[in-house]
């Protein structure tokens, strides 16, 4: 009796995995990346954006950044924060502790560059202006 139970166990264990054949009739779960992609959600921590009106130049963001990726830069006669995306760890502490809600993280996440210098976000009329592609 034990022998029969052992053999029938082995038998079912050998043939049950062929149930994977039902995957042939389902849609694949992967997306072909450059042509279709999963859009990031609204709260995703991506590239920074700065509101020049609201920024008070207090540099709390620079002090709280764990990787020291933010430091002051001159623009239009005032000092604003400038972010080095190569050092940033996307933790959102700068947004959390900014008293005027000036620096925010947008969901934009596709950032590519071959040049370390262009990873530093430049400053322009609308706030941060990316110099990478």
Partner 1 sequence: MDIEEKEIAFLTVPFGPQHPASGHFHALMKVDGETVLELEPHPGYLHRGFEKLMEYRIHPQNCVLADRLDILDPFPCELGYVNAVEKIAGLEVPKRGRYIRIIMTELGRILSHITWIGVLSMVLGFDSANKIAWGDREKIIRLNEMATGGRIYPCYLCVGGARRDISQEFVDETSKALDYLEGQLSFYDYFVFKNETFVMRMEKVGRMTAEEAIDLGATGPNLRACGVDYDVRKDEPYEVYPEVEFNVITREEGDAYARSLCRRGEIAESISIVRQLLNNLPDGAFRIELSPVWAAPEGECYFCLEAARGEKCFHMVSDGSPFPYRVKVRPPSLSHSLVQFPYLVKGNTIADVPAIYWSLDPGPADVDR
Partner 2 sequence: MSIFYLIVFPGFVSLFLFSLLCEYIDRKVTARLQSRVGPPFYQPWADFIKLMSKESLVPTMADRKIFTAIPVFGVAAVVTAFIYIPLWSTRSPFPFTGDIVVVIYLLSLPTLLLFLAGWHSTNVFGTIGATRGITQLFGYEVPFLLALLSPALVTGIWSLSGILNYQVEHTWFIAYLPLSFIVAIISLAGKLERIPFDIPHAAQEITGGPFTEYSGARLALMHLMLDMELFAGSALIAALFLGGFDYIGVIPGLAGSVVGFVLFLIKTLIVLFILICIKAAFARIKIDQLISMSLKWLAPMALIQLLIAVGLKFAGVL
Which residues of this protein are in contact with partner 2, per CB under 8 A?
A: 17-18, 20-21, 23-24, 26-30, 32
Q: Indicate the pairing of strand 70-75 with strand 78-83.
A: antiparallel
**Min dist. Cβ of residue 78 to partner 1 (A):** 24
Phi and psi angles of residue 130, each rounded to the nearest 5 degrees, phi first: -75, 140
Q: Tokens 């950044």, residue?
A: 65
Report the residue number, 68 or 116, with the smaller CB distance to partner 1.
Answer: 68
Report the residue number, 98 or 120, with the smaller CB distance to partner 1.
Answer: 98
Q: Tokens 């062929």, residue?
A: 18
Report the residue number, 36 or 53, with the smaller CB distance to partner 2.
Answer: 36
Report the residue number, 68 or 78, with the smaller CB distance to partner 1.
Answer: 68
Nearest C-alpha neighbor of 96 from the set 66, 127, 128: 66
Nearest C-alpha neighbor of 89 from the set 44, 46, 28: 46
**Min dist. Cβ of residue 117 to partner 1 (A):** 26
Query: With CB under 8 A, what is the number of residues at the site for partner 1?
Result: 25
Cβ(79)–Cβ(49) below 8 Å: no
Enter the tokens of residue 109. 């996440």
Check binding of 105 to partner 1 (CB under 8 A): yes
- Residue 35 interaction partner, one of partner 1, partner 2, none, beta carbon < 5-8 Å per kind: none
């Amino acid at each position: 009796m034990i022998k029969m139970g052992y053999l029938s166990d082995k038998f079912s264990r050998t043939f049950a995995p062929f149930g994977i054949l039902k995957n042939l009739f389902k849609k694949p779960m992967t997306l072909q990346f450059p042509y279709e992609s999963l859009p990031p959600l609204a709260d995703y921590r991506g590239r920074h954006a700065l509101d020049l009106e609201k920024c008070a130049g207090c540099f709390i963001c620079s002090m709280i950044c764990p990787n020291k990726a933010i430091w002051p830069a001159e623009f239009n006669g005032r000092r604003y924060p400038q972010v080095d995306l190569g050092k940033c760890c996307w933790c959102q502490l700068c947004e959390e502790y900014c008293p005027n809600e000036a620096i925010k993280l947008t969901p934009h996440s596709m950032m590519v560059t071959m040049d370390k210098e262009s990873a530093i976000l430049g400053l322009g009329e609308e706030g941060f202006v990316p110099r990478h592609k």
